[in-house]
Amino acid sequence: MANQVLDSLSWLDDEIDASVFNDRHHATRFRSLMQKLWLGMGNSLPFACQDRAATKTAYRLLSSDGIDEQTLFQGMLKRPPSGYLRWKKTLFCFQDTTASGLSPG
């Protein structure tokens, strides 16, 4: 089980490393948030974050003017489909059919 967690976090790190943030703090916070969400998959943001400070940091990151959907998903969008074949495992694909935005208004 621990090996699976390390493998999945390694994959997650590869995806996050492909993302570029204008602020190094955003990159650090995004990595931390993604790890918490990955390990707490299916949980709400506050439950995955486990404490008030981490939850507040997550919401602050997601509402930041310097963060948008393109920034968050660029790591996944940059990787060609052939890049996923090296794992030889099941690939989960999703399509978001809702209109979403991280900024109010």
CATH number where 49 lies:
1.10.246.40
Give the ranges where the chain is alpha helix by DSSP (H): 2-17, 24-39, 45-49, 52-62, 69-78
pLDDT digits (tens, 9 = 90+) for 44-64: 889 999 999 999 999 998 888
- Considering the domain boundaries, does residue 32 fall inside one? yes
- Considering the domain boundaries, does residue 52 fall inside one? yes
Total number of domains in the chain? 1
Residue 12 has pLDDT above 90, yes or no: no
Residue 37 has pLDDT above 90, yes or no: no
- Considering the domain boundaries, does residue 92 fall inside one? no
- Considering the domain boundaries, does residue 18 fall inside one? yes
- Which residue type, as a one-letter code, is found at position 25? H
Is-above-0.85 flag for pTM?
Answer: no
Question: Could you list the residue range(s) of the whole structural domain that residue 13 is in?
Answer: 2-87
- Considering the domain boundaries, does residue 103 fall inside one? no
pLDDT digits (tens, 9 = 90+) for 19-31: 778 888 888 888 8
- Considering the domain boundaries, does residue 28 fall inside one? yes
